[in-house]
């Protein structure tokens, strides 16, 4: 009965023609700039009049709130374990960005219980109605469930620096995801690109490898230069795109958001998408 009601709700959502884009920001190795990308990309989308929320999936070790300079009221964990309602874990910054904090200070990896998946799905159902873009900043602690979540979202933005190890790790990550869901839409961003380098080399190599070894087409979104404004903004706990709008990284970020907004996901992806449906089937696997 419950599943039928759920299906109906999903159908209703679809027939209302609502299409929000859910995007996971991932990388091979950590420290390449995912969280800074997420917060600044979110503001670039906000500036285009879009409704955006960031969900910090680095549960227990989140730092989105630090980058935004906000002390969050509650965290995703508080919602998942039933302590707080969804409304109580959505924070809004003075710059108008909504986010759900991953929380910090959790000394061990959170244990996922079945009831938590139900809560997560309920949350996403609401978020899809309320926002144009849901950005999942994926943490370093790539737990199995976090990877399940990446498999459920329609689109993935892969951040890589130009270092060879970062590029090979990014490829491994994409391969891992692609083998489980060949229909996923991948977008590539090279970060910390040195001066006099247009960043195309890294992205083109990744694109080539994906095509050659996995027969998978990917899209290059653009690159972000190595820019001292990024570190300065991190220290100031403000997005660089707001603090230093004329900085090279900010200009590039605006171009990236522009490209992204114009590139709707492939029709094939849209057709079979149904983020919630996917999430459900992935999380329900092995549950009886």
Q: Which residues bind ligand ADP (CB under 6 A)?
A: 27, 30-36, 191-192, 224, 226-227, 230-231, 234, 249
Tell me which of ligand ADP, Mg ion, none is bound by residue 150, counting a contact when its beta carbon lies within the kind-specific cut-off of 5 to 8 angstroms. Answer: none
Report residue 59: phi and psi, to 5°: -65, 125
Q: Look at residue 27 and give the partner it binds from Mg ion, ligand ADP, none, a contact being a CB closer than 5 to 8 Å depending on partner kind.
A: ligand ADP
Q: Closest approach of Cβ 63 to Mg ion, in Å? A: 6
Query: Which is closer to Mg ion, CB of 22 or CB of 35?
Result: 35
Residue 207 and residue 220 in contact, taking contact as beta carbons nearer than 8 Å: yes
CA distance 230 to 38: 13
Helices assigned H by DSSP within 16-55 = 34-47
209 touches, from Mg ion, ligand ADP, none (C-beta below 5 to 8 Å by class): none
Indicate the residue among 115 and 140 with the shorter CB distance to Mg ion. 140
Residue 231 CB, nearest approach to ligand ADP (Å): 4
Count the Cβ atoms, other than its own, within 10 Å of residue 37: 23
* Residue 35 or 91 with smaller CB distance to Mg ion: 35
- Count of residues that bind Mg ion according to CB under 5 A: 2
Give yes or no for residue 35 binding Mg ion (CB under 5 A): yes
Return the number of the residue (53 or 116) whose C-beta is nearest ligand ADP: 53
- Partner in contact with 75, chosen from ligand ADP, Mg ion, none, beta carbon below 5 to 8 Å by kind: none
CB 23 within 8 A of CB 133: yes
Residue 129's SS3 state is helix
Q: Which helix (H) or strand (E) holds 164?
A: helix 164-180
Residue 246: alpha-carbon gap to chain centroid: 25
Which sign does the torsion angle of CA 39, 151, 168, 30 carry?
Answer: positive
Residues found near Mg ion in the complex (CB under 5 A)? 34-35
């Amino acid at each position: 009965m419950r599943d039928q009601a759920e299906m109906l709700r999903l159908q209703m959502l679809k027939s209302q023609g609502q299409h929000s884009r859910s995007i996971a920001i991932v990388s091979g190795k950590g420290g390449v700039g995912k969280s800074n990308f997420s917060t600044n990309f979110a503001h670039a989308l906000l500036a285009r009049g879009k409704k955006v929320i960031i969900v910090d999936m680095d549960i227990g070790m989140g730092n989105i709130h630090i980058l935004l300079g906000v002390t969050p009221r509650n965290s995703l964990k508080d919602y998942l374990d039933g302590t707080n309602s969804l409304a109580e874990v959505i924070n809004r910054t003075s710059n108008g960005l909504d986010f759900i904090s991953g929380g910090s200070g959790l000394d061990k990896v959170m244990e996922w219980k079945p009831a938590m998946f139900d809560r997560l799905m309920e949350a996403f159902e609401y978020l899809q109605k309320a926002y144009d873009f849901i950005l999942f900043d994926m943490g370093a602690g790539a737990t199995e469930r976090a990877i399940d979540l990446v498999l459920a979202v329609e689109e993935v933005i892969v951040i890589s620096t130009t270092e060879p190890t970062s590029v090979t790790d990014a490829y491994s990550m994409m391969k891992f995801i692609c083998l489980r869901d060949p229909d996923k839409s991948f977008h590539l961003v090279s970060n910390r690109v040195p001066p006099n380098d247009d960043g195309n080399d890294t992205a083109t190599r990744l694109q080539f490898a994906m095509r050659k070894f996995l027969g998978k087409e990917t899209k290059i979104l653009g690159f972000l230069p190595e820019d001292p404004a990024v570190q300065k903004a991190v220290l100031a706990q403000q997005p660089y795109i707001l603090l230093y709008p004329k900085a090279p990284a900010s200009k590039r970020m605006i171009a990236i958001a522009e490209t992204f907004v114009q590139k709707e996901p492939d029709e094939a992806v849209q057709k079979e998408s149904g983020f919630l449906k996917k999430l459900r089937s992935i999380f329900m696997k092995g549950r009886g």
